[in-house]
């Protein structure tokens, strides 16, 4: 074992068990840890002591800028830069500019929602120590995991795995970095 | 307590997924078609589709070389099948996002088994749809002038044109649907990455999985993003077909210039979309042995939606006539009477029969549960909705001045382009079912009983 | 030899080189002061540009063209030496500033690649010198024989020079004989006039009669001075005209005149004489001395009685007209009626023609059969096709054929000489009123061609320059000193002022008429008619005229057997069925077209189509001339029609003839109009005050401020006869391609302007309404709103501008156009035309107008190129005043229209004609109810029915 360890990985069988375990880990005041599930387990983020995501604010801002940007573009192009007499309508006929404005709003928000999510999740990240663990493959299938990183101040190469065993982990392993 | 009861413990409804499916079984089942060695049946679908798609390419090449005159379009019918097909495909492209987004917001758990599938259908339908307005213009090489980019003329697009709204609406609808679909795919791509053995497969799935590892810290943002996308896609899906309907409604031609078009088009779109989903799903679930995941419960629900939207469309047809009469405009009234009794009455009554009459069968559960019948009905719905758009476009033959009235008949090239687009559609579909999980595993897993972290509460009926 | 032949380069086809040198010749012959040719004819390099000539600035030359004895004065535009547009000469008395459709199309005929290019001796081409030599040799040979064995055949082209040379010929070759034959001529009319005691004279109508009774004639379409008649007729339709007119028509088929009638009576051709006879005897009861012919009373009916009464009431200002399709006796009776009514003293004048005596075509054929003639010189037409028996008889003689095409006659001719187009050769034309116009060429001959004058001069061994011959003719009647001056004035004006006119007072007295035709047979009759677009077929090779829809049937690219609905039903025929028509032995299969208004039991057979071996377009349609009786009469009884299997698609350009009760063409009778001046308002679908509710606040646009020019057009439906000259003029001016039959069948014709025509059953009486329809430049244009790239937008002057190079071809604008007057290039029609027509069409094209690319939308913009040219001219010469004067801009359609039905102008100027017309109570906008605010508005049509006949 020349390499330094990344952390410890514990496997659980059911959502229920990992849910309880997470609550315990949270109460044990661990900070640099995470849980891994094949699907979003209802309420698990709260069990891990996390608040709501702040993504919506960012998306809202982008949506607004998209809408106003589109309206500005239409106003400038058809009323300022190159006004043309079209069907005796006003150069700035805002009624007709609503659809494009709306669509632009949706586009900007949608793109920002996805990019925002990836940014907050620090994705894409094609390599991660956990992905080297054979057992961990089932994290995307039917098993549930808790990982506590070695960089956590409370981490202890001996105690932490035992602690996880005590939470009902069916299997615990040290993952190398 | 028995986790495998036939009742979904979460919402006390009949189980959405066969109770004998656990997480692993679901994964296996969904991944199976990808892991099989390519079945002959797939080739039997794929090869003809590719050939058909190639013929589309050929037709388009000839079209661009020779000019739009190879079609049947003329004066007064300047828009022919190209636009009919465009609206037809866009319509089909609505069910996917609707199922994914609207049903998601309404917490309709039954969507989980079919949303991936129908989203894919949406994307491919929109791809076909976009191809038609693109090739129908007279000078395709200057098409970029519709984009708000500076060009040699220093002029800008005319943002008052419904056609321009279309460009934005449909292309944005396409891209947002793609995002929505891809975001939903990420966890399942990770699953595939972890399952496949081939180096190439690992690499490919790995790249697109973006290094997903099911972290709850990720799920937290992921779920919000997905919810937001759903929230955005819902008004979008409604706006897109409204905008498409503006192409007709914002013009001032009798039979086109009617305010009922937006809602009527949206209903029609959902109608046709569900029709197409049924058509494809009924085949796929058999071929890929998905009966346990796509249960009669899903089929039944979709059939109900078809019945509902079909009836809305029928109402719209009736209301059009009423308004035409009530408007007191002789042109308007003539246009509608002419639809039903004029030279193209055949198309009109085909439309009414397929869209309004036939779906009424679905009032009876027996019929809704008869797979074969349902399949036939879904085909009729597709035909009927194509004819609906044909009837609208053909209204051009008789507008204000009788001196300019004419007739329209399609040519070989109209037909080849239309059939070719089906080639494109099915080619993409074959690739999809072969290489991507056609059912959202991660989502389906959330609706099986085991997914509930608080089984005992559920068992005692406690809310969570 | 004069210098002329040196100037004639030797063109294989009209190549670029030909064109340039041809242009050089024209340049050389330009006078610097006015648009007059200089007497010398040498080629000058373009480098030595005559002063005052600006490349790119068009020049205009006065000239004249003729069909039969009808002369049309023209003002032809030349761009850098290329004739490109046939304008009208307002000063010309027998065309009154109008141009028929055929005249408009002659500019394309000039460049027709199918024209014969070199002389042919026994089928082998010979150079011009060789050909001229042969003719001279022939002339010499005949001279020795005092002209024995020489037959000269010509048509009715009324050329004083030609007449002079003919007379000279008669003097020098006393034995030579002269014949005349013209499918567009008026042999029957002249024979009839002779019977009535006015031989070799012609009548010209100067003012409108109050009552016009037409008997199987088409003075608006294919007979006589159509423009002059239209002009006179239109002048009597205006509600405030000093003399209003009423038009009665008795005819077997729907002629253009008949379609404009107030009262129309459809009878079989053989019954027409009886109706006229009945009229004559009716007039007796009104105190006129007229022959009572047998069986007259039988034909007398309500119509005839009312007509007679009306004519008597309008003593002196009412007249009857009989058409060429009727035998001479009927013409004679008509002259008597007119004389009795005093029409000839008030309404017009008779002019003695100085044409020599001619013999008829059948005398020629007889002579040829008898072997009397060694040489037959055919100076015009295609006798081998148009004169029955000529071809067979020709074996006995050597035929010298002067013609534009390698037609039947050319093929049997010993020597064929290409005939110069009237835009290539000098000539002169005398109108029915005796006025003479100089036919001035605009371009040196494109091919090795000669004019009739030149050939005749060559035979005579006289000066072979047409130019000199024409000058000699007219030198006589001016004092020698001022000849050059007056010559230049004539060329400039296009009319020879000082030409002596010999009026005659017709001495007509009512007498019995020998062999007046008896009332008709009971069986099916055939009526051979001149086609309204290609006439007798002389213009059949013009793609423009082939594509131009017949004003009445709207058929293009074909003729068809026209039947009345009842007759068709009786024969079990419907549109586009094939039928076998059998008439005295000959039979022909041709498609059927049902034309309401046609007399029952009449088979109408338009001539001029299906001409094989003439050109690439002439062959379309069916050649009915084979069915025609050998004596060349225009109608015959004993026709058999049988349905034959199969059908044939006819390219009809208007599929609907009913207005479906929509207020499109609004009309009222003169009396109703005087009762209610604002009757047009009654038709409004929506009250104006209900229309102007808009989604948005209306912007203050230039026209709202009354700034700048505001272009508009007003069309008086009263004055439009439907002749369609404007359609061809528009095509010539705006480089509009023809698309061919297959595309017309698809509904893709490109005419920017079309003449909509609607049928109406006015309690039993068949009526036709015409409505010129082009882009109306709507102020709230629906087309502009929907264009995604803004290719269609408004100019501050109120034009609906179409930026061709911006158009990407979504075709949404055309869908949204309520008038459907936008035209789309579904294929690259321009290039297709180039492929068919070669350099020719490119030489005709107007350099001021872009040719449109495939995939581009196009439409009328009120000849914006003419507007801009006029604005520039005004800016340069207006001395600070940039307002273009009213009438300074004339659109192509307006220029072609002799009746002034179309008026273009600046409606912001209250003094302009168009502004005044828009204040006319009859003014209305089609589809005003959808708030498109068209700039083109119409003046409602006023009919003038006879109260006694009005109520059916």
Q: Under an 8 A CB cutoff, do A85 and C695 touch?
A: no
Q: Which residues are within 8 A (CB) of C618 and not within 5 positions of it... i.e. 6 or more apart?
A: C114, C405, C537, C540, C541, C609, C611, C612
Sign of CA dihedral C8, C9, C10, C14: negative
Name the helix (H) or strand (E) containing C556. Answer: strand C555-556
How many residues are given for chain B? 464
CA-to-CA dists, residue A86 to B386, B456, C793, C795, C796, angstroms = 33, 68, 5, 9, 11
Cβ–Cβ pairs < 8 A, chains A and C: 38
User: What single-letter DSSP state applies at residue C37?
Assistant: B
Per-residue burial over A131-168, b if 16 or more Cβ lie within 10 Å, else e, is: bebebbebbbbbbbbbbbbbebeebeeeebbebbeebb
The sign one gets for the Cα dihedral C268, C269, C270, C275 is positive
Chain C residues with CB-CB distance to B79 below 8 A: 811-812, 815
Using the structure block, give the residue that is written with the tokens 């009746």.
C899
B300 at A interface, C-beta within 8 A: no
Partners of residue B158 in chain C, C-beta under 8 Å:
784-785, 787-790
Beta bridge partners of C65: C72
Judged by CB atoms closer than 8 Å, whether chains meet at A85 and C933 is answered as: no
Each residue of B31-78: pLDDT tens digit?
888 888 888 888 999 999 999 999 999 999 999 999 999 999 999 999
In this predicted model, what pLDDT tens digit does every residue of C761-817 receive, in sequence order? 988 889 999 999 999 999 999 999 999 999 999 999 999 999 999 999 999 999 999
Cβ separation B219–A44 shorter than 8 A: yes
pLDDT at B459: 53
Interface test with C, best of B68, B138, B171 (most C CBs within 10 A): B138
Answer yes or no: do A53 and B160 touch at CB < 8 A.
Answer: no
Q: Which of A84, A85, A89 sits opposite C696 (nearest CB)?
A: A89
The answer to whether the Cβ–Cβ distance between C696 and A88 falls below 8 Å is no
Interface of B with C in 6-35 (CB under 8 A): none
How far apart are alpha carbons C509 and C87 in whole angstroms? 43
- Residue C170: CB atoms within 10 A of its CB come to 17
Orientation angle between helical segments C466-475 and C160-172, nearest 10 degrees: 90
Residue C735 backbone zone (phi > 0: left; psi -120 to 50: alpha; other: beta):
left
Query: Of A84, A85, A93, which is closest to C696 when you measure between CB atoms?
Result: A93
Give the nearest partner residue to A82 out of B156, B441, B446, using CB atoms.
Answer: B156
CB-based contact B117:B438 (threshold 8 Å): yes
Using CA coordinates, name the residue in chain C closest to B404.
C820
Integer Cα distance of B6 and B151 in angstroms: 64
User: Which chain C residues are closer than 8 Å to B329 by Cβ?
Assistant: 685
What is the value of pTM for the model shown? 0.91
What is the percent of chain B where pLDDT is above 70?
94
Q: What's the rounded Cα separation, in Å, for the pair C760 and C664?
A: 13
Element (H, E) at C673: helix C670-675
- Kindly list the averaged pLDDT for each block of 10 residues, start to end, along chain C of length 952: 35 45 46 47 59 82 94 93 92 92 96 94 91 92 89 94 94 92 92 90 92 96 94 92 94 96 94 93 91 80 94 94 94 93 90 90 91 92 88 90 93 94 94 92 93 94 90 81 85 84 81 80 90 94 96 96 96 96 93 96 95 90 90 89 95 95 94 92 86 72 80 96 96 96 95 95 91 95 94 93 94 96 96 91 94 95 95 92 93 94 94 95 94 94 91 56
pLDDT at B14: 52
Q: Return the pLDDT at C339.
A: 92
Q: What is the DSSP letter of B102?
A: I
Question: Mutual orientation of helices C466-475 and C452-460 as an angle, nearest 10°?
Answer: 80
Question: Position of tokens 């970029």?
Answer: B144
The answer to whether the Cβ–Cβ distance between A106 and B27 falls below 8 Å is: no
pLDDT tens for residues C262-289? 999 999 999 999 999 999 999 999 999 8
Average pLDDT, chain A: 92
> Contact at 8 Å (CB) between A75 and A92?
yes
- How high is the pLDDT of residue C480? 63
Return the sign of the alpha-carbon dihedral for residues B56, B62, B65, B71. negative
Whether B69 and C747 lie within 8 Å, measured CB to CB: no
Cα-flanking dihedrals φ and ψ of residue C715, to 5°? -120, 120
CB C666 within 8 A of CB C760: no
Asked if B138 has any chain C CB less than 8 Å from its own CB, the reply is: yes
State the DSSP code for B13: S
Q: Decide the pairing of beta strands C375-378 and C398-403.
A: parallel
Contact check, Cβ <8 Å, B168/A103? yes
pLDDT digits (tens, 9 = 90+) for B347-381: 999 999 999 999 999 999 999 999 999 999 999 99
Measure the CA–CA gap between A18 and A20, rounded to whole angstroms: 6
Residue C525's SS3 state is strand
Question: What is the pLDDT, as a whole number, of residue C161?
Answer: 94
Which residues in C lie closer than 8 A to residue A90 (C-beta atoms)? 696-697, 699
Lowest mean pLDDT among A142-146, B440-444, C277-281, C498-502: C498-502
For residue B172, the chain A residues in CB contact (below 8 A) are: 103-104, 106-107
Write out the two tokens for C271. 């019954």
What are the DSSP calls for chain A, one per residue?
--SPEEEEEEEESSHHHHHHHHHHHHHTT--SEEEE-SS--TTHHHHTT-----HHHHHHHHHHHHHHHHHHHHHIIIIIIS--B-TT--SS-HHHHHHHHHHHHHHHHHHHHHHHHHHHTT------GGGG-TGGGGGGTT-EEEEEETTSTT--TTHHHHHHHHTT-SEEEEEE-
Q: Pick the residue of B4, B154, B214, B223 with the most A CBs within 10 A to test the interface with A by mutation.
A: B214
Show which of residues 73-92 on chain B sit within 8 Å of chain C, judged by CB atoms: 73-79
How far apart, in whole angstroms, are the C-alpha atoms of residue C503 and residue C341? 20
Q: Is B337 on the interface with C (CB under 8 A)?
A: no
Give the nearest chain A residue to C793 (CA atoms). A86
Q: What is the 3 state secondary structure string of B62-95?
A: HHHHHCHHHCCCCCCCCCCHHHHHHHHHHHHCCH
- Mutation target to probe the A interface, by most A beta carbons within 10 A, among C697, C704, C785 is C785
C494/C504 Cα distance (integer angstroms): 25
CA C905 to chain centre: 26
Q: Check residue B8 and give its pLDDT.
A: 45
Q: Is B65 exposed, middle or buried (0-12, 13-18, 19+ CB in 10 A)?
A: exposed
Cβ atoms within 10 Å, residue C300:
18
Residues in A closer than 8 angstroms to B232, CB to CB, are 106, 109-110, 113
B155 contacts chain A (CB < 8 A): yes
A89:C699 CB<8 A: yes
Q: CA-to-CA distance for C634 and C607, rounded, in angstroms?
A: 10
ipTM exceeds 0.90:
yes
On chain B, the residues whose CB falls within 8 A of the CB of A134 are none
> Could you give the angle at the alpha carbon of C240 between the alpha carbons of C237 and C244, nearest 5°?
40
- At CA C721, angle to CA C719 and CA C723, rounded to 5? 130
Tokens of residue C301, six digits: 């009916």
CA-based nearest distance C555→chain A, Å: 36
CB pairs under 8 A between A and B: 217
Determine whether the interchain pair C825/B162 forms a contact, defined as Cβ–Cβ distance below 8 Å.
no
- Residue C855 is nearest to which of B67, B76, B251, comparing CB atoms? B67
Q: Please report the sign of the dihedral spanned by the C-alpha atoms of residue B276, residue B279, residue B282, residue B286.
A: negative
What residues in B contact A125, CB-CB < 8 Å?
Answer: 210-211
Specify the DSSP class assigned to residue C419.
Answer: B
Q: For residues C442 and C76, is the Cβ–Cβ distance under 8 A?
A: yes
N-term to C-term CA, chain B: 18
Q: Is the dihedral of CA B97, B98, B100, B106 positive or negative?
A: positive
Q: Is C788 on the interface with B (CB under 8 A)?
A: yes
Q: Which chains touch A (3 or more CB pairs under 8 A)?
A: B, C
Greatest distance between any 2 Cα atoms in chain C: 91
Name the neighbours of C, counting chains with at least 3 Cβ pairs within 8 A: A, B
């Amino acid at each position: 074992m020349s390499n330094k360890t990344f952390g410890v990985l514990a496997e659980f069988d059911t959502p229920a068990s990992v849910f309880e375990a997470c609550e315990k880990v949270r109460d044990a005041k661990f900070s640099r840890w995470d849980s891994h599930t094949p699907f979003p387990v209802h309420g698990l983020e709260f069990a891990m002591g996390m608040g709501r995501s702040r993504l919506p604010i960012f998306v809202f801002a982008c949506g607004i800028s998209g809408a106003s940007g589109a309206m500005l573009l239409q106003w400038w192009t058809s009323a300022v830069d190159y006004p043309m007499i079209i069907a005796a309508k006003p150069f700035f006929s805002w009624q007709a500019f609503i659809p494009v404005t709306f669509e632009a709003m949706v586009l900007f928000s949608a793109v920002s929602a996805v990019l925002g999510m990836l940014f907050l999740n620090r994705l894409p990240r094609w390599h991660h120590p956990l992905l080297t663990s054979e057992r961990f493959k089932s994290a995307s299938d039917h098993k549930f995991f808790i990982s506590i990183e070695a960089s956590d101040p409370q981490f202890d190469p001996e105690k932490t795995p035992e602690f996880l065993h005590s939470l009902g982990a069916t299997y615990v392993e040290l993952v190398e970095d | 307590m028995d986790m495998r009861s036939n009742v979904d413990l979460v919402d006390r409804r009949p189980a959405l997924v066969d109770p004998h499916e656990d997480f692993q079984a679901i994964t296996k089942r969904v991944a199976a078609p990808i892991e099989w060695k390519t079945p002959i049946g797939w080739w039997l679908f794929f090869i003809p589709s590719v050939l058909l798609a190639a013929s589309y390419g050929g037709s388009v090449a000839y079209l661009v070389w020779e000019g739009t005159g190879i079609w049947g379009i003329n004066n007064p019918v300047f828009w022919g099948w190209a636009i009919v097909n465009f609206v037809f495909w866009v319509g089909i492209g609505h069910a996917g996002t609707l199922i994914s987004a609207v049903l998601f917001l309404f917490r309709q758990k039954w969507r989980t088994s079919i949303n991936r599938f129908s989203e894919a259908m949406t994307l491919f339908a929109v791809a076909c749809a976009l191809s038609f307005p693109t090739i129908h213009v007279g000078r395709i090489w200057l098409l970029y002038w519709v984009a708000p980019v500076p060009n040699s003329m220093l002029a800008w697009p005319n943002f008052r044109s419904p056609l321009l709204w279309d460009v934005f609406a449909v292309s944005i609808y396409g891209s947002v649907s793609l995002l929505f679909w891809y975001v939903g795919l990420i966890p399942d791509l990770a699953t595939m990455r972890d399952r496949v053995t081939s180096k190439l497969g690992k690499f490919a799935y790995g790249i697109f999985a973006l290094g997903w590892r099911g972290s709850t810290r990720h799920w937290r943002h992921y779920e919000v993003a997905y919810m937001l996308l759903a929230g955005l896609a819902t008004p979008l899906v409604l706006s897109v077909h409204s905008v498409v309907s503006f192409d007709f409604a914002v013009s001032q031609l009798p039979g086109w210039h009617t305010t009922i078009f937006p809602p009527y088009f949206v209903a029609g779109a959902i109608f046709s979309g569900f029709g197409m989903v049924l058509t494809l799903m009924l085949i796929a679930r058999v071929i890929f042995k998905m009966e346990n995941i796509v249960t009669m419960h899903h089929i039944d629900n979709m059939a109900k939606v078809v019945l509902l939207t079909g009836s809305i469309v029928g109402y719209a047809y009736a209301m059009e006539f009423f308004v035409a009469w009530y408007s007191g405009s002789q042109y308007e009234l003539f246009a509608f009477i002419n639809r039903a009794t004029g030279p193209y009455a055949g198309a009109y009554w085909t439309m009414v029969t397929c869209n309004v009459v036939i779906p009424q069968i679905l009032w009876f559960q027996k019929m809704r549960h008869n797979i074969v019948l349902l399949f036939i009905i879904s085909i009729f719905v597709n035909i009927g909705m194509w004819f609906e758009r044909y009837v609208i476009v053909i209204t051009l033959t008789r507008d204000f001045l009788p001196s300019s009235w004419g007739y329209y008949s399609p040519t070989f090239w109209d037909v080849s382009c239309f059939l070719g687009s089906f080639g494109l559609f099915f080619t993409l579909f074959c690739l999809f079912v072969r290489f991507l999980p056609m059912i959202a595993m991660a989502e389906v897993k959330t609706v099986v009983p085991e997914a509930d972290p608080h089984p005992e509460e559920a068992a005692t009926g406690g809310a969570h | 030899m004069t210098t002329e032949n040196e100037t004639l380069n030797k063109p294989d086809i009209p190549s670029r080189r030909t064109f340039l040198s041809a242009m050089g010749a024209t340049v050389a012959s330009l006078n610097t002061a006015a648009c007059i040719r200089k007497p010398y004819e040498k080629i000058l390099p373009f480098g030595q540009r005559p002063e005052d000539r600006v490349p790119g600035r068009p020049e205009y030359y006065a000239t004249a063209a003729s069909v039969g004895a009808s002369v049309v004065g023209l003002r032809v535009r030349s761009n850098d030496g290329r004739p490109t547009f046939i304008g009208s000469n307002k000063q010309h008395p027998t065309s009154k500033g109008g141009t028929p459709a055929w005249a408009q199309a002659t500019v394309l005929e000039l460049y027709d690649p199918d024209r014969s290019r070199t002389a042919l001796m026994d089928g082998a081409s010979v150079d011009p010198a060789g050909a001229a030599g042969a003719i001279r040799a022939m002339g010499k040979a005949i001279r020795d024989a005092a002209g024995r064995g020489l037959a000269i055949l010509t048509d009715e082209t009324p050329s004083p020079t030609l007449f002079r040379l003919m007379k000279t010929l008669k003097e020098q070759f006393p034995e030579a004989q002269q014949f005349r034959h013209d499918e567009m001529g008026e042999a029957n009319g002249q024979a009839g006039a002779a019977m009535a005691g006015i031989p070799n004279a012609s009548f010209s109508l100067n003012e409108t009669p109050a009552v016009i009774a037409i008997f199987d004639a088409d003075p608006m379409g294919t007979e006589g001075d159509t423009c002059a008649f239209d002009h006179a007729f239109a002048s009597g339709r205006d509600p405030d005209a000093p003399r209003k007119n009423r038009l009665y028509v008795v005819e077997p088929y729907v002629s253009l005149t008949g379609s404009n009638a107030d009262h129309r009576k459809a009878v079989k051709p053989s019954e027409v004489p009886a109706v006229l006879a009945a009229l004559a005897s009716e007039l007796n009861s009104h105190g006129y001395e007229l022959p009572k012919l047998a069986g007259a009373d039988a034909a007398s009916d309500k119509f005839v009685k009312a007509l007679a009464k009306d004519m008597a009431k309008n003593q002196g200002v009412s007249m009857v007209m009989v058409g060429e399709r009727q035998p001479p006796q009927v013409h004679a009776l008509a002259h008597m009626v007119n004389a009795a009514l005093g029409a000839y003293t008030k309404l017009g004048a008779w002019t003695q023609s100085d044409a020599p005596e001619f013999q008829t075509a059948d005398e020629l054929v007889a002579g040829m059969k008898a072997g009397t003639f060694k040489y037959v010189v055919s100076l015009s037409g295609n006798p081998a096709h148009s004169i029955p028996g000529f071809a067979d008889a020709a074996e006995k003689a050597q035929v010298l054929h002067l013609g534009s095409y390698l037609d039947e006659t050319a093929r049997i001719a010993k020597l064929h000489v290409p005939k110069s187009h009237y835009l290539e050769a000098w000539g002169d034309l005398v109108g029915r009123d005796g006025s003479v116009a100089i036919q001035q060429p605009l371009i040196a001959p494109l091919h090795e061609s000669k004019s009739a004058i030149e050939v005749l001069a060559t035979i005579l061994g006289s000066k072979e320059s047409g130019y000199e011959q024409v000058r000699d003719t007219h030198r006589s009647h001016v004092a020698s000193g001022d000849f050059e001056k007056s010559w230049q004035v004539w060329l400039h004006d296009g009319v020879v002022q000082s030409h002596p006119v010999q009026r005659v007072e017709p001495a007509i007295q009512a007498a019995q008429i020998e062999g007046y035709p008896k009332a008709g047979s009971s069986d099916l009759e055939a009526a051979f008619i001149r086609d309204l677009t290609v006439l007798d077929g002389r213009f059949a090779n013009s793609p423009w005229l082939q594509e131009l829809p017949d004003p009445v049937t709207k058929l293009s690219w074909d003729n068809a057997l026209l039947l009345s609905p009842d007759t068709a039903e009786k024969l079990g025929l419907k549109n586009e069925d094939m039928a076998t028509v059998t008439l005295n032995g000959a039979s022909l299969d041709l498609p059927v077209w049902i034309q309401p208004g046609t007399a029952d039991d009449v088979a109408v057979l338009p001539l001029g189509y299906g001409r094989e071996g003439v050109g690439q377009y002439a062959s379309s349609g069916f050649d009915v001339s084979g069915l025609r009786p050998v004596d060349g009469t225009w109608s015959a009884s004993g026709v058999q029609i049988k349905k034959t299997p199969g059908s044939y698609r006819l390219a009809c350009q208007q599929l609907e003839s009913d207005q479906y009760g929509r207020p499109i063409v609004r009309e009222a009778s003169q009396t109703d109009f005087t009762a209610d001046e604002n009757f047009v308002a009654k038709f409004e679908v929506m009250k104006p005050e209900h229309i102007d509710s808009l989604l948005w606040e209306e912007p203050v646009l230039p026209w709202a401020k009354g700034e700048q020019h505001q272009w508009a057009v007003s069309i008086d439906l009263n004055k439009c006869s439907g002749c369609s000259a404007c359609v061809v003029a528009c095509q010539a001016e705006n480089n509009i391609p023809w698309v061919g039959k297959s595309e017309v069948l698809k509904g893709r014709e490109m005419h920017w302007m079309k003449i909509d025509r609607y049928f109406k059953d006015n309690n039993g009486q068949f009526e036709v309404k015409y409505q010129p329809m082009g882009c109306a430049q709507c102020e709230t244009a629906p087309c502009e709103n929907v264009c995604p790239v803004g290719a269609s937008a408004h100019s501050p002057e109120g034009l609906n501008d179409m930026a061709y190079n911006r158009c990407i071809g979504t075709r949404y604008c055309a869908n949204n156009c309520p008038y459907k007057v936008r035209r789309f290039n579904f294929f690259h029609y321009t290039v297709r035309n180039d492929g068919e027509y070669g350099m020719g069409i490119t030489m005709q094209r107007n350099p001021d107008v872009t040719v449109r690319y495939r995939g581009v939308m196009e439409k009328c913009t009120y000849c914006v190129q003419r507007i801009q040219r006029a604005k520039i001219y005004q800016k340069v010469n207006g001395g600070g005043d940039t307002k273009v004067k009213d009438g300074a801009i004339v659109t192509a359609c307006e220029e072609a229209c002799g009746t002034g039905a179309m008026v273009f102008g600046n409606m912001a100027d209250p003094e302009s004609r168009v502004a005044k017309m828009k204040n006319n109570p009859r003014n209305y906008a089609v589809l005003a109810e959808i708030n498109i605010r068209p700039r083109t508005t119409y003046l409602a049509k006023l009919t003038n029915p006879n109260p006694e006949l009005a109520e059916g």
